Structure 1
Amino acid sequence: MNTNAPSVFRTPAWFYFAVAFAISWIIWLFPVLATRGVLTLSRTTQLLCLFAGSFGPFIGAFIAVYRDGSWGAVKEFFGRSLRYRIGPVYLLAALLLMPVLAGIASWWLAQRGGPPYAMLVPLAHFPLLYLELLFIGGSVNEEFGWSYAIDRLQQGRRLLPAAVILGVIWGCWHIPLFFIAGLTQSFMPFWAFLTFTVAFRVLIVWGYENNRKSILLALLFHTASNFSFNMYNLIDRTPQRDERGFIAYCLLTLFVAIAVALTARCYRRQATLLARNEGSR
C-alpha cells in the first residue's frame, strides 16, 4: 500500500459507507417521492436535494478521516487534491480517454440509424462546461469519498478486487436516481450502468494509485466522463429509449478496463506479492 495513506484506519469501512449512503439516500428520497406524486416540491427544491445528496461520499470521507487521525489526517487527505505532478500518460488518459470512447460509441450509433454524429457543445464552451462539471457536476461531490473508500478497501485485499468492489458500490449508490423521472439515470439500463461504474472505477484507481494517490487525477477522470455525456448524444431521452449508444460506451470502457487490469503494474504487482506471500506460508 502507498505510504501516503494511513497505515491504521480507526473507522470501519461499513461506517464510512453507511454515512455516505444514508446522507445521499435520505436527501434523495424527497425528489423520488416528488416525482412519484407523493410529495409536492418545486423544481428548484428537487434540484437542491439532488445536489445536496450528492455530497454524501464527501461528508462521509471527512467524518471518517477525522476519526482516523483528527485534523492532521484531514489536511493530508484533502491536500491530495493538489497533487498536480501527474505522469503524462495518466494525464492524457484522464482528460481524453472517456471523450474518445464516447465519440467512438456515438459514431458507431450514427452508422446504425442513430442520431447523426456531431458534438453537442461548441468548442468555445468547453472550458466553462468542464469547470462547471468539475465543481458542481459530481466530481468534487464524490471523488474525495471514493478515494477514501479505495484506500480503506485495500486493507486485507488485492487492489483489483478492491476496485471492482468499489465500482459495484459506486453504481449501487446511484440507485435512487434511477427512480427520478427525467434524470439521466432514468434512461439507462441499470446493468449497463453497473458495468460502466465497475470498469471506470478500475481505470480511475489505476491512475490514482500510480500518481501518489492523487485525488486531483480522480477528479479529472470523473469530470471527463461527465463531460462526455454532454459532448455526445449517448442517452436517448425520447419514448423510444434507444440504449445502444450508452451500451456501446459501457462496453468500450469495459474493454479498456480489462486491458489495463491485465497489464497495469499496480494491479499485477499486488497479485504477484500476494502469490509470493501465500507460497511462503
Structure 2
Amino acid sequence: MHPSFRTPVWFYFGLAFGIAWIAWLFPVLASHGVLTLSPAAQLACLFAGSFGPFVGAFVAVYRDGGWPAVREFAGRALRYRMGFVHFLAAMLLVPVAGGLSMWWLASHGGPPFAALVTASHLPLLYVELFLIGGSVNEEFGWAYAIDRLQQRHRLLHAAAWLGVIWGCWHIPLFFITGLTQSFMPFWAFVIFTVALRVVIVWGYASNRQSILVALLFHTASNMTFNLYSMVDRTSRHDERGFIGAALIILVVAAVLALTAHCYRRPSDAVVSIETGAKS
C-alpha cells in the first residue's frame, strides 16, 4: 500500500537545497574574493552543507509519521540482505568503469595508468568515505526523494529526474576554487549523476528499499575519484577520463532501464515508506 505523506515534497527539497546552498555560499564568496575564510572554516561549511539531504529527509519523515516512521526509515540502512549481483555492482561498478576509462586514456595521450591509493589503505579510506565522505550525508535524503518522486512518475522516470536534481544540488561546488567539481564540465557531471542514480535506484528498489545498497554505491563512487586521477586539475583540462567513466555507467544504466524488473513493472507496484513498518 502507499503511505500517507503529510510533508509537501517542496518542503523536503527546500531543506535539502537550502541547507546546502546557504552553507556553501560562504566558500563560493570566498573563492571570488568577497570574504575571507580559513581552510578550517571552508571545510566546516562544505561538511555542514553536505548534510542538507540527510536533515531534510529526517525532518520530513518525522512530519509524515512521527518516531515510528523515523525508526523504519533509519532501519533501512541496516538491510544488509541483498542480491549478490547488486552487491557486486555497488562495490565494483564505478571503480571498474573508472579504471577502464583511465586505462584507455593512458593509451591515448593521458597520464600513465596507476592507482593513487595502495591496497593497504583502501579499507580505511572506504570507511572514511562511507561515514563522512558524502554517502551518509546524502543517501538518506535521496532515498526519501525517490519515494516521493515515484508517487507521480514511473520508477525509471523518477530515477532519471532525481539524477538531474542530484547533479543540480552540487551547482555551488562548481564555483568553489580547488574542489573536484570546479574542474569538471557540468554537462558531463549531470550525465554521471543521472546514470549512476538510475543504477543506485535499481539496487535500492530491488532490495526492499535498502538504503545500505545506496550507501555502498555512493561510497564506491567517491572512492574511485580517490583511486584514480579521474579529474584533470592541470591547465590542460583533459577530462576524458571522467567523461569516459560517465559514459560507461550510462551504458549500464541504459541496459538496466530496458531489462531490470523494477523498471518494467507497473508504477502501482512500486513501494514507498510504510509508516511504522519493520525493517
Tell me, yes or no, whether TM beats 0.5. yes
Which residue number in structure 2 is paired with residue 242 of structure 1?
238
2:153/2:267 contact within 8 Å kept: no
Give the whole-Å Cα distance in 2 for the aligned partners of 1:177 and 1:271. Answer: 35
Q: What is the RMSD of the two structures over their aligned residues, measured on CA atoms?
A: 1.3
Q: What SS does the corresponding residue of 1:182 show, helix, strand or coil?
A: coil
Shift in Å, 1:193: 0.1
The residue that corresponds to 1:270 in the other structure is 266
Q: Number of aligned pairs?
A: 270
Tell me the percent identity.
Answer: 69
**1:68 equivalent in structure 2:** 64
Alpha-carbon distance between aligned partners in 2 of 1:153 and 1:271, rounded to the nearest angstrom: 11
Report the equivalent of 1:86. Answer: 82
CA–CA separation in structure 2 for the residues paired with 1:92 and 1:273:
26
**Which whole-Å CA distance do the structure 1 matches of 2:50 and 2:179 have between them?**
14
2:147 to 123, 147, 151: 151
List runs of 5+ in structure 2 lacking aligned partners: 271-279
Deviations 1:64-115 (A, max 9, x none): 0000000110010011000000111100110011100000000010010101
1:159, 1:270 within 8 Å by CA — same for their partners in 2?
Answer: no
Within 2, Cα distance between the matches of 1:218 and 1:254? 17
* Matched residue, 2:15: 19
User: 1:151 offset after TM fit, Å?
Assistant: 0.4
Match of 2:109 in 1: 113
User: What are the superposed Cα offsets for residues 227-250 of structure 1, whole Å, 9 maximum, x if unpaired?
Assistant: 111111111001111111111111
In structure 1, the gaps of 5 or more residues are: 275-281
Alignment of 1:104-183 (within 5 A): 104-183=100-179
TM-score (norm 1): 0.94
Q: Note the C-alpha offset of 1:270.
A: 2.6
Q: 2:24 aligns with which of 9, 25, 28?
A: 28
Tell me the equivalent position of 1:229. Answer: 225
Find the aligned partners of 1:43 and 1:244 in 2 and give their Cα distance: 30
Q: Structure 1: how far apart are the matches of 2:260 and 2:268?
A: 12
Q: How far does residue 271 in structure 1 lie from its aligned partner after superposition?
A: 6.3
Q: Structure 1: which amino acid aligns with 2:57?
A: A
Structure possessing the higher relative contact order (Cα contacts under 8 Å, 6 or more residues apart): 2
Q: Indicate whether 1:53 and 2:54 are aligned.
A: no
> Residue type of the partner of 1:39?
L
Matched residues in 2 for 1:182 and 1:125: separation?
A: 24
- 3-state SS of paired residue (2:265): helix
SS in 2 for 1:41: coil
Partner in structure 1 of residue 201 of structure 2: 205
TM-score (normalizing by structure 2): 0.95
1:136-182 alpha-carbon deviations (Å, 9 max, x no partner) = 10000000000000001110220000001100000000000000000
Query: In the alignment, is the contact (CA less than 8 A) between 2:231 and 2:241 conserved in 1?
Result: yes
In 2, the alpha carbon distance for the partners of 1:185 and 1:23 equals 19
Secondary structure at the counterpart of residue 82 of structure 2: coil
Distance 1:250 1:222 in 2: 14
The residue aligned with 2:277 is none
**How far 1:273 sits from its partner (Å)?**
7.3
Q: Deviations over 1:166-201 (max 9, x none)?
A: 000000000000000000000000000001100000
Residues 239 and 220 (structure 1 numbering): CA distance in 2 closer, same or farther, change over 3 Å?
same
Where does residue 278 of structure 1 map in the other structure?
Answer: none
2:274 is matched with none
Q: How far off is 1:251 after superposition? A: 0.7
| Shift of residue 8, structure 1, vs aligned partner | 1.1
Question: Runs of 4+ in structure 1 displaced over 6 angstroms?
Answer: 271-274
